[in-house]
Every structure is written in structure tokens, then in C-alpha cells.
């Protein structure tokens, strides 16, 4: 609706999931913090957004164990959170929720999704990334 109304540069936050369109200004990218689900008030990482990107996180940080395994109906606890970056917010959010529900094999599954990258945080504090996620991290060489 914003694009249809003529907006070219904006950032919309829907419950912590973000859709960024255009640029903050001609020279400065936006930086979006990813909240750490195990350490309230801290960031797990920051994403550099130059233009047109969606960022969605599914996890336990804000709402506790609210994602249920589709076969058992039991809360999923394999991961603390999964953050996915991609082109459009609808699919990026759907992939974040599906990846979280998948548990341990979430990143292997997301590696097969063209145009999407992810960060998984585990309850024991470990972090894993898809092969291209580093391109979006702030201060990373070649950040998107």
C-alpha cells in the first residue's frame, strides 16, 4: 500500500518483523539490531540494510515457547530463535516460523531456499548461520 501511494523509502515494523524499502538516505545504510533471545536487552548481531530487505525472527525471546511441532503439538525447544532475511516479508516471516518449527535442521533447509539467509541461536548459546548470512551483518566485508 505504501508503494502504491508513492512511498519510496520506508521501514515498517510489524511485531518485530521488518520490511525495509529504499534507503534511509543516499549515503547511509540502515542498521537493524537482532535481539538476543537469551540475553534480554542485548543484540545477537546487527544487520546492514542498503535497500529492499525483509527481516523476520521466530523464537522464544518475546512470547516464550509458542511454536508447536506440527506432528506432536508439543512446543518446539530445539532453538532459541531463527532470524531470516529475504526479499518480501510474507515469505521471509513464513520461512522463519517454519524453520523454527523444524528445529535442528532449520539451517540446512534454509540453505536450499534461494534468496534467503538465516541466523539460528540455540538454547545453549551456540550460534549458526547459513553460508551467506555474513553478507548482511554490520561491519562484515561485503555487507548487503
- pLDDT tens for 104-118 read 889 999 999 999 999
Closest CA to 44 of 118, 131, 141, 132: 118
| Cα torsion 44, 105, 136, 55: sign | negative
Higher pLDDT, 53 or 59: 53
pLDDT at residue 141, rounded to an integer: 47
- Average pLDDT of the chain is 82
Q: Which residues contact 55 (CB under 8 A, 6 or more apart)?
A: 17, 18, 20, 32, 34, 47, 49, 83, 84, 85, 92
- Can you tell me whether residue 68 is helix, strand or coil? strand
Q: What is the pTM of this model?
A: 0.83
Q: Are strands 53-59 and 81-86 parallel, antiparallel or unpaired?
A: antiparallel
Any idea which fold 10-136 has?
Answer: T-fold (3.10.520)
Contact criterion met (CB below 8 Å) for 47 and 64:
no
- Domain positions in the chain are 10-136
Please tell me whether residue 131 adopts helix, strand or coil conformation.
Answer: coil
Amino acid at each position: 500500500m505504501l508503494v502504491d501511494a508513492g512511498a519510496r523509502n520506508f521501514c515498517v515494523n510489524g511485531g518485530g518483523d521488518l520490511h525495509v524499502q529504499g534507503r534511509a538516505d543516499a549515503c547511509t545504510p540502515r542498521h537493524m539490531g537482532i535481539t538476543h533471545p537469551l540475553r534480554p536487552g542485548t543484540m545477537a548481531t546487527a544487520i546492514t540494510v542498503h535497500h529492499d530487505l525483509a527481516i523476520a525472527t521466530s523464537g522464544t525471546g518475546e512470547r516464550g515457547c509458542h511454536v508447536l511441532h506440527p506432528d506432536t503439538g508439543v512446543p518446539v525447544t530445539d532453538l532459541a530463535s531463527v532470524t531470516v532475511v529475504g526479499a518480501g516479508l510474507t515469505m521471509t516471516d513464513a520461512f522463519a516460523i517454519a524453520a523454527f518449527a523444524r528445529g535442528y535442521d532449520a539451517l540446512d533447509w534454509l540453505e536450499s531456499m534461494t534468496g534467503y539467509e538465516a541466523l539460528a541461536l540455540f538454547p545453549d548459546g551456540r550460534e549458526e548461520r547459513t553460508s551467506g548470512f555474513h553478507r548482511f551483518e554490520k561491519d562484515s566485508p561485503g555487507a548487503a
